[in-house]
Chain A
Amino acid sequence: MRFRLSRRHFLAGMAAMGLTLRVPGLLADTSSNAITREIPATGEPLPVIGMGTWRTFNVGGDQQLIAQRTQVLKTFFDLGGTLVDSSPMYGSADDVMGQALSALEARDRVFAATKIWTGDENATREQAEVSRRKWQVARFDLLQIHNLLGWEGHLETLKSMKAEGEVRYLGITTSHGRRHRDIERLMATEPLDFVQLTYNLLDREVEERLLPLARERGIAVIVNRPFQGGSLFRRFDSEPLPAWAGEVGCKNWAEFFLKYIVSHPAVTCVIPATTRVDHMRENMGALYGPLPDTSQRERMAQYVRSL
């Protein structure tokens, strides 16, 4: 039987191709093809691309921006993401996240992570409850002590909360390379499920001690500031991707930066933040396809250093 391609079929095919290229999630079976890592404490799989909310979800009562951020979150979920990280420090971000989750009816799809950020070491439960009400979730999957503020009191309370089933995992955070000695000491001595730290193509100090220690101790690693607060794009966006970027599964700089991070075997999840749907799509591209191996990772770092 001969098939004659009509103009209508041709245009419909082109439109379908354009749509699928624009929305990689349509091509991907998000449940099976997404790259995941197990949380060492339980073996629970977690997609390696999560979402941060620093500076991006603090929009106050601006309904237009809340609706727009809801679309960013929807894109994140549609393309296979689950872990969303916030903090009481981020202004109205917890409130906005709660509204966005309600609008999307997506509470069963989110791995809800926030932080305890108060110097009052007796206020752990109280602050966690305030955040829980804002997110309108039954409980948080992960509570982290933000920048180790008041960590001694908070950690003891979080251990109790975890034992009582009020939270599933507990952890500590740092950023910008601060207090790494304290982080290392706590990782070595405390029963932590997660540690959150800064790691990107230019800030690689954690490769020396903290990431190997996380593997050794079975601690999941969340990576913040993967784009160095956006400065990696400002610095390299005008530069060409290397000709071999396709070999490491990268179509753009976002994937290049993110795949470098998640290809480290100690990293569980990276949490880029964005205000734009198109940028979210680019970020989520790093959840699929091949990851660079050790020699390719070194090549990526060398290329960026050479620019």
Chain B
Amino acid sequence: MDWSSYSLADFLMFGPEVFLRLYSRVNRDFWPWPVVTVLASVLMAWLLTLGELWARRAVLALLGMAWVCSGAGFMLRYYGPINSPVEYFGWGFIAQGIALGLTAVVWRPESASPDTSRRRLIALAWLLVVCLLPWLVVMESGEWQALGLFAITPDLTVLASLFSLLLLPRRLRALLLLLPALWAVFSALTLWTLGMTVLLIMPLATLALIPFAISSRQR
């Protein structure tokens, strides 16, 4: 087969309208779950400021739940039927969520929690990401119901996770950053082909931050 004659658009079987409506549909169908995810996001910001082990475990457990919810809900039920590779990613997200949950239970940290100022910085960055970036989908679609929330939509769940994963030792963190990197590449190519430059911010930011997230030392 002459692959050089194909373009990315040849592999995309849907248009922007169908894609953007996924966001408003999932928010409407799962109401009031979007409110719960916003409250959980704020709770996680508070937990990130705490240095205790239980708080770190709670952040990882909530993060795991977010990945499972995004994978089982948005990806398998809504996005997968129109874009078949997303089904595989959906199962990957569920597996990653379970891995994060197990990590939360069995993890015994060898180093202390990051210092207070670093924890506050991480929490602030987290809060900015989960509060501001959902509006990118609103900007793209023109519908406020289309908020792309953490724990529901994959791009924001992946990007926000980078900050929480800084709690983990580097080797484990690198392992858990593999799927985010793959998803970010896939998502960026899809959004680029759809011509959604505003939404490209999230996967591109993920790809830009992953090297820092891997190399960042846990203090």
Contact = CB atoms under 8 A, between A and B. Distances in A.
Given A62-B25, A176-B5, A178-B5, A91 B81 contact: yes
Given A91-B13, A91-B82, A91-B83, A62 B5 contact: no
A256 interface: no
B132 interface: no
A61 B78 contact: yes
A58 B78 CA distance: 12
A89 B82 CA distance: 10
A60 B78 contact: yes
Given A60-B82, A178-B2, A89 B13 contact: yes
Contacts of B22: 60
Contact of A92 (B2, B10, B15, B81): B81
A58 B21 contact: no
Given A62-B21, A62-B25, A176-B5, A55 B15 contact: yes
Contacts of B9: 229
A93 B14 CA distance: 10
A59 interface: yes
B18 interface: yes
B84 interface: yes
A59 B78 contact: no
Interface in A38-83: 54-56, 58-62, 64-65
Contact of A54 (B13, B77, B78, B79): B13
A92 B5 contact: no
Given A61-B78, A61-B81, A62-B21, A91 B14 contact: yes
A90 B13 CA distance: 6
B110 interface: no
The size class of the interface chain B forms with chain A is 20 to 34
Contacts of A176: 5, 10
A92 B82 contact: yes
A65 B82 CA distance: 13
Contact of A59 (B2, B5, B79, B82): B82
A90 B25 CA distance: 21
A58 B18 contact: yes
B18 A62 contact: yes
A275 to B, nearest CB: 7
Contacts of A61: 77-78, 81
Interface string A264-276: 0000000000010
Nearest to B18: A59
B15 A275 contact: yes
Nearest to B84: A91
Contacts of A62: 18, 21, 25
A65 B18 contact: yes
Q: Which of B5, B14, B25 has the most CB of A within 10 A?
A: B14
A55 B9 CA distance: 10
A56 B9 CA distance: 14
Nearest to A176: B5
A41 B13 CA distance: 32
Interface in A143-158: none
A58 B12 CA distance: 10
Given A91-B82, A178-B2, A58 B17 contact: no
Contacts of A92: 81-82
Contacts of B84: 91
Q: Which of B5, B12, B13, B84 has the most CB of A within 10 A?
A: B13
Interface of B: 2, 5, 9-10, 12-15, 17-18, 21-22, 25, 77-79, 81-84
19 contacts: A55-B13, A58-B14, A58-B18, A59-B18, A60-B18, A60-B78, A61-B78, A62-B18, A62-B21, A62-B25, A65-B17, A65-B18, A91-B81, A91-B82, A92-B82, A93-B13, A178-B2, A229-B9, A275-B15
Interface of A: 54-56, 58-62, 64-65, 89-93, 176-179, 229, 275
Kindly list the 5 A-B residue pairs having the minimum CB-CB distance in the complex, ordered from nearest: A60-B81, A60-B82, A91-B13, A91-B82, A58-B13
